[in-house]
């Protein structure tokens, strides 16, 4: 089979391009900057460093910024005394996060007119996840993180909240 000059030229350009990409990956310290998403602090275990000049210029802002974050989770206590922990995203898909938060709020709000309906719905959702377990009590807890360091990666440790506070509880009939 005979190839013409343009096909050979295209093949040569592809080979040169691949060689340049390979050379670029070797030069760019493949361990850290192989792909841009790897260096993003949200996705990476790589500890990013901020230029000292930037930190000095923004030190007043950083000192004033006392970040705190809170979240809620549910603890379901079974008849056998086991604890099951549910964060809002565990019960319903992420795209239903607003509904999930409203459901958790209504189930533990004494002034809510839909309190009983919200509790029944919450129990139905939990029973779909764990049909074999009989739940006796559901507790709502507030978790606070006060020690957030905005310059570290990650900025907080999810497993170690600063405070845990029982917000409400109800018994299953």
| Domain range annotation of the chain | 5-48, 67-171
Tell me how far apart the alpha carbons of residues 169 and 138 are, in angstroms, rounded to a whole number. Answer: 6
Tell me how far apart the alpha carbons of residues 144 and 5 are, in angstroms, rounded to a whole number. Answer: 69
Residue 23 vs residues 9, 15, 28: alpha-carbon distances, Å = 21, 12, 9
The pLDDT of residue 38 is 47
More confident: 11 or 53 = 11
Residue 10, token pair as written in the block: 């295209």
Model pTM? 0.57
Tell me how far apart the alpha carbons of residues 105 and 99 are, in angstroms, rounded to a whole number. Answer: 10
Q: Which residue has the tokens 């600063």?
A: 162
Percent of the residues in the chain that have a pLDDT greater than 70, as a whole number? 71
Q: Which residues of 107-144 are buried (b: 16+ CB within 10 A; e: fewer)?
A: bbeeeeeeeeebbebbbeebeeeeeeeebeebbbbebe
pLDDT digits 0-9 by tens, 81-97: 888 888 777 777 766 77
3-state secondary structure of 103: helix
More confident: 64 or 8 = 8
CA 102 to centroid of chain Cα atoms = 19
Over 70: is that where the pLDDT of 48 sits?
A: no
């Amino acid at each position: 089979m005979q190839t013409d000059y343009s096909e050979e030229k295209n093949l040569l350009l592809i080979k040169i391009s691949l060689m340049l990409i390979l050379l670029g990956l070797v030069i760019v310290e493949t361990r850290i900057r192989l792909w841009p998403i790897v260096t993003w602090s949200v996705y990476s275990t790589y500890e990013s460093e901020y230029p000292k000049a930037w930190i000095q210029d923004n030190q007043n802002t950083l000192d004033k910024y006392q970040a705190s974050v809170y979240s809620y989770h549910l603890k379901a206590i079974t008849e056998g005394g086991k604890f099951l922990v549910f964060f809002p995203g565990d019960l319903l898909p992420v795209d239903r996060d607003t509904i999930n938060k409203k459901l958790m709020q209504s189930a533990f709000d004494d002034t809510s007119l839909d309190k009983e309906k919200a509790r029944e719905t919450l129990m139905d959702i939990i029973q779909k996840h764990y049909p074999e377990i009989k739940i006796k009590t559901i507790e709502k807890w507030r978790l606070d993180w006060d020690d957030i360091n905005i310059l570290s990666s990650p900025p907080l440790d999810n497993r170690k909240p600063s405070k845990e506070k029982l917000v409400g509880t109800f018994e299953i009939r």
